[in-house]
Amino acid sequence: MYNFGFEKPGTVADAVAALGAEDAQALGGGQTLIPTLKQRLASPTTLVSLTGIAEMRGVCTGDDGALCVGGATTHATVAAEAGAYPALAATAAHIGDPAVRNRGTIGGSLANNDPSACYPAAALASGATIVTNTREIAADDYFQGMFTTALDEGEIITEVRFPVPEAAHYEKFVQPASRFALVGVFVAKYADGVRVAITGASNDGVFRWSEAEAALSSNFSADALDGLSLPSDDMISDLHGTAAYRAHLCGVMTKRAVAQAS
């Protein structure tokens, strides 16, 4: 790693101030950032740890019934405490491995927007609101392609608000080495319709499968997906799966997610 300064502010305001320094970078749990730094692929002058900000940690239910997760909340905490949204808790319980879940945070995951990460699918399928120190961003506007988000420089995810669906499930087919999603499908059924978000598959990062959403909104059963398929043109093709295979898995995993949604 290149060397850097380290700061661990106790408030969002202090963190924002610290991030104002040139080439300062926020540090969530570091489970992706630290390996990246080890490869010397980034050279921040200062890392500003967000793990010491008490107001950014924890899970609660908002006045509108949404499940609110602090931006610095670890996956392990979400797995344990997001019982109001079981599919979200189950998703968090299968990110990385136990030790990674004890450090990795939801804010860090969403800010990084890895095309194979699990949380982006959960947030997009839930129509979550990404709350930052300056504004609220709808999930549909937030994800802008692989490793790209609507966040501005120095902007911090302080909270993520998930409307709780009637039924939901996340079905992950793991890339066998990294255990990230080769294809992960999050299906969430709300009163006003079904949302389907897919991670791991596309060169454009997480995306919604609108045909599946339409079919499932009128008939929330795996059978409703018969005959539907995604084109493989923009799918990722790598050592672990061809584009055609990923496109195929999108269909299989979506059906399985619907069948298990509760």
Partner 1 sequence: MPKDSGIGASTKRREDMRFLTGAGNYTDDINLAGQAYVHFLRSDVAHGTLKNVDTSAAAAMPGVVRIFTSSDFDGVGGIPCGWQVTSKDGNVMQEPTHPILATGKVRHVGEMIAAVVADTPEQARDAAEAIVLDIDELPAMVDMKAALADGATKVHDDLNDNLCYDWGFVEENREAVDKAMSEAAHVTSLELVNNRLVANPMEPRVAVGDYARHSDESTLYTTSQNPHVIRLLMGAFVLGIPEHKLRVVAPDVGGGFGTKIFHYAEEAFCTFAAKACNRPVKWTSSRSEAFISDAHGRDHVTKIELALDADNNFTALRCLTHANMGAYLSTFAPSVPTWLHGTLLAGNYRTPLIYTNVKAVFTNTVPVDAYRGAGRPEATFQLERVIDKAARELGVDPVDLRRQNFIREFPYATPVAVEYDTGDYDATMDKMLELADRDGFDARRKASEAKGKLRGFGVNCFIEACGIAPSNLVGQLGARAGLYESATVRVNATGGLVVMTGSHSHGQGHETTFPQVVAEMIGIDADQVEIVHGDTARTPMGMGTYGSRSIAVGGSAMVRATEKIINKTKKIAAHLLEAAEADIELKDGAFSVAGTDKSVTWGEVTLAAYVPHNYPLEDIEPGLEETAFYDPSNFTYPAGAYACEVEVDPDTGTVTIERFVSADDFGNVINPMIVEGQVHGGIAQGIGQALLENCSYDENGQLLSASYMDYTMPRADNLPHMEHYTVDHSCQTPCTHNPLGVKGCGEAGAIGSPPTVINAIIDALQSGGHKVDHIDMPATPDRVWAAMQ
Partner 2 sequence: MTQVTMTVNGKAASGTVEGRTLLSGFLREELGLTGTHVGCDTSQCGACVVHVDGAAVKACTMLAAEADGAEVTTIEGMANADGSLNVIQQAFQDHHGLQCGFCTPGMVMSAAALLKDNPKPSEQEVRDYLEGNICRCTGYHNIVKAILAASGQDVPAMAAE
Identify the CA nearest to 117 among candidates 41, 174, 164, 73: 174
Binding interface with partner 2 (CB under 8 A): 1-6, 8, 27, 30-31, 34-35, 37-39, 46-47, 49, 51, 76, 96-100, 102-103, 178-179
Residue type, 77: T
Torsion of CA 85, 86, 91, 96, to 10 degrees: 110
Q: Which of 40, 191, 218, 233 binds partner 1 (CB under 8 A)?
A: 40
Q: Decide whether 102 or 112 has the Cβ nearer to partner 2.
A: 102
Identify the CA nearest to 94 among candidates 169, 189, 203, 196: 169
H/E run at residue 134: none
Question: Least distance (Å) from partner 1 to the CB of residue 252?
Answer: 5
Give the Cα separation of 53 and 57 in Å (integer). 7
Q: Residue 94 interacts with partner 1 (CB under 8 A)?
A: no
CA-based torsion, 152, 32, 29, 4: positive or negative: negative
Q: Residue 239 interacts with partner 1 (CB under 8 A)?
A: yes
Q: Residue 96 interacts with partner 1 (CB under 8 A)?
A: no
Give the Cα separation of 68 and 43 in Å (integer). 33
Q: Residue 39 interacts with partner 1 (CB under 8 A)?
A: yes
Q: Which stretch binds partner 1 (CB under 8 A): 10-18, 53-61, 86-94, 239-247?
A: 239-247
The site partner of 218 among partner 2, partner 1, none (C-beta below 5 to 8 Å per kind) is: none
Question: Least distance (Å) from partner 2 to the CB of residue 199?
Answer: 19
The site partner of 173 among partner 1, partner 2, none (C-beta below 5 to 8 Å per kind) is: partner 1
For tokens 């797995």, the residue is: 79
Question: Least distance (Å) from partner 2 to the CB of residue 104?
Answer: 9
Give the Cα separation of 172 and 7 in Å (integer). 36
Query: Quick one: tokens of 22?
Result: 């040139």
Question: Least distance (Å) from partner 2 to the CB of residue 23?
Answer: 13
Q: Residue 177 interacts with partner 1 (CB under 8 A)?
A: yes
